[in-house]
Structure 1
Amino acid sequence: MTRYLTSTSLSGSLLLALCAPALTQTALPPIEIRAPKAFELGQIKVGERRLATPTGPTSQGNGSGADGASSSAAPANADNAPTPKQHTDAFGGYTITNRQIETFARDTLDRAINIAPGVNANTTGTARNEQNIYVRGFDRWQVPLTVDGVRVMLPVDNRLDFARFMTPDIAEAQIAKGYASVLDGPGGMGGQINLVSRKPSREIESEFRSRVEFGRDGTYQGVQNYGFVGTKKDLYYAQLSGAWQKFDGWLLPASYVSTPIQGWGFRNQSYTQDYSVNAKVGVTPNATDEYSLTFSRQDGDKGAPFHVSQPINTQNNWKWPYWRVQNLYFLSKTKLGDASYVKTRGYWSKYENSILAFDNFGFFNQAAPKSFDSHYSDYALGAEVEAGTQFEDIDTLKGLFYYRLDTHTEWQNNYGTNYQGKPKGCVANVPCSFQPVIASLEDTYSVAIENTFHPRKDIDIVGGFSYDWRHLRQAQGFALPQGTITYTPKDMSAPNYQGAVIWRYNGTDADRVYFNVSDRVRYPTLFERFSTRFGGATSNPTLQPERAVNYDLGWSTQFAPNARLTVDLFHSWVQNLIQNVPMPAYGPNVTQSQNVGAGRFTGAEVSVDYEPREDFSLGGNLTVMRRRVYAPYIPTFQPIGVPDIKLFLYAGYRPIPEITLTPNIEIASSRWTAYQNTQSYYRTGAYFLTNFNADYQVTSNFKVTAGVRNLFDQLYVLTDGFPEPGRSMYLAVKATF
Structure 2
Amino acid sequence: MKYKVGLALSLVMASVLMGETFELGKIEVSDAKEIGYSSTTTVLDSQTMQDNERTTVVDALNTLSGISIQNGGGRNEQMVMVRGFDVKHAPLFIDGIPIAVPYDGYVDFSRFTTYDLSQIEVSKGLTSVLLGPNTFAGAINMVTKKPTKAFEGEVGVGVFSGNGKDGYITAGTNQGSFYGIVSLSGSQKDSYPLSGDFPSGIKYEDGGSRNNSASKDGKVNLKVGYTPNNSDEYSFNYIKQHATKDVPPFAGVIDGTIIKDSNPNTSGGGTVHFWKWDYWDKESYYFLSKTDFDNWYVKTRAYYDIFQNSLLMYTDPTYSTLSNGGSLAKASSNPSFYDDNTKGVSVETGVKLFEADTLKFALHYKEDTHKEGSTNGWTKAANPEYTMQDDISSFGVEYKRALTNSTALIVGTSYDWEKAQKAPNTNYGATGNYFSDAALTTPITSYATLKNFDLGEASSLNPMAKLETKIDETTSIYGGISKKSRIPSIKDRYSFKMGNYVPNPDLQEESIVNYEIGGTKSFDLVTFKAALFYADIRDYIQSAYVPIWYKPTGAAVQQQQLKNIGEVSEKGIELEASFLLADHFSFDGSYTYLDMKNETDSNVKITDVPKHKFFASTKYEFTKSLAWILSYEYDSERFTSYVLSGSNIYYSSGDASIWGTKLVYNPTKELAFEAGVKNLFDENYYVNYGYPEAGRVFYGNVKYKF
Calculate the TM-score normalised by the size of structure 2: 0.89
Do the aligned residues in 2 keep the contact of 1:637 with 1:681 (CA within 8 Å)?
no
**Within 1, Cα distance between the matches of 2:515 and 2:72?**
28
1:449-499 CA distance string (max 9 Å, x none): 001001101001000111111122111232232388311213221111111
CA distance in 2, matches of 1:452, 1:383: 25
Are residue 120 (structure 1) and residue 68 (structure 2) matched?
A: yes
Equivalents in 1 of 2:33, 2:8: separation in Å? 15
Larger deviation, residues 256-265 vs 601-610: 256-265
Distance 1:398 1:74, change over 3 A: farther
Q: CA deviation at 1:619?
A: 2.2
The structural deviation recorded for 1:74 is 5.1
Q: Is the 8 A contact 2:7 2:520 kept in 1?
A: no
Which ranges in structure 1 are unaligned for 5 or more consecutive residues?
Answer: 1-29, 45-51, 56-62, 78-87, 215-219, 415-428
1:69 Cα offset (Å): 14
Alignment of 1:671 onto 2:628:
no
2:43 to 78, 82, 95: 95
1:328 aligns with 2:328: no
Number of aligned residues: 659
1:475 aligned residue (410, 423, 434): 423
Deviations 1:595-632 (A, max 9, x none): 00010111101100011311111120111111001354
* Higher RCO, 1 vs 2 (CA within 8 Å, ≥6 residues apart): 1
Counterpart AA for 2:632: I
Map 1:273-672 to 2 at 5 A: 273-309=216-252, 310-314=259-263, 315-337=272-294, 339-366=295-322, 370=326, 372-411=334-373, 434-479=382-427, 480-481=430-431, 482=448, 485-506=451-472, 508=473, 510-558=474-522, 560-587=523-550, 588-632=557-601, 636-672=603-639
CA positional deviation for 1:70 = 12
Structure 2 residue runs without a partner (length 5+) = 253-258, 264-271, 327-332, 432-447, 551-556
Alignment partner of 2:191: what SS?
coil
Residues 356 and 69 (structure 1 numbering): CA distance in 2 closer, same or farther, change over 3 Å? closer
Query: CA distance change for structure 1 residues 405 and 653 in 2, over 3 Å: closer, same or farther?
Result: same
- Once the two structures are TM-superposed, the CA of residue 110 in structure 1 deviates from its matched residue by 1.1
- CA distance in 1: counterparts of 2:703 and 2:150, whole angstroms: 20
- Over aligned residues, Cα RMSD in angstroms? 2.7
Deviations 1:196-232, CA, capped at 9 Å, x for gaps:
0111121111110112102xxxxx4301111101001
Residues 582 and 591, structure 1, Cα contact 8 Å, conserved in 2: yes
Aligned to 1:48: none
Per-residue deviation, residues 294-316 of structure 1 (Å, max 9, x unmatched): 00111121111111142245522
**Distance verdict in 2 for CA 1:369–1:670, change over 3 Å:** closer
Residues 241 and 659 (structure 1), Cα distance of their counterparts in 2 relative to 1, 3 Å cut: same
Shift of 1:195: 0.6
**2:177 partner letter:** L
Paired with 1:351 and 1:168, the residues of 2 have a C-alpha distance of: 21
**Structure 2 counterparts to residues 165-244 of structure 1, below 5 A:** 165-214=112-161, 220-244=162-186
Q: How far, CA to CA, are the matches of 1:734 and 1:129 in structure 2?
A: 30
The alpha-carbon distance between structure 1 residues 367 and 269, as it changes in their structure 2 partners (threshold 3 A), is closer
> For residue 443 of structure 2, what is the aligned residue in structure 1?
none
Distance 2:178 2:34 in 1: 29
Partner Cα separation in structure 1 for residue 379 and residue 203 of structure 2: 31
Residue 659 of structure 1: how far off its partner (Å)? 0.8
- Deviations along 1:496-537, whole A, 9 cap, x unmatched? 11111001011x3x4200012220100001111000112211
Q: Indicate how the Cα distance of structure 1 residues 438 and 513 shifts in structure 2: closer, same or farther if over 3 A, else same.
A: same
CA contact (8 A) 1:67 1:199 kept: no
User: How far apart in 1 are the matches of 2:571 and 2:25?
Assistant: 37
Q: Is 2:214 the counterpart of 1:271? A: yes
Superposed CA deviations along residues 547-603 of structure 1, whole A, max 9, x for unmatched, are: 011111101011x22321001101111010111111123443211110000101111
SS of the equivalent of 2:491 reads helix
**Aligned in 2, Cα 1:466/1:644: closer, same or farther, shift over 3 Å?**
same
Q: 1:33 touches 1:609 (CA, 8 Å); kept in 2? A: yes
Shift of residue 188 of structure 1? 0.4
Question: What do the CA deviations read for 1:60-82 (whole angstroms, capped 9, x no partner)?
Answer: xxx863599998645868xxxxx
**Deviation, structure 1 residue 54:** 13
1:254 aligns with 2:220: no
- Give the conservation status (yes or no) of the 8 Å contact 2:10–2:32: no
Distance 1:130 1:95 in 2: 24
Identity of aligned residues (%): 28
Offset of residue 53 of structure 1: 11
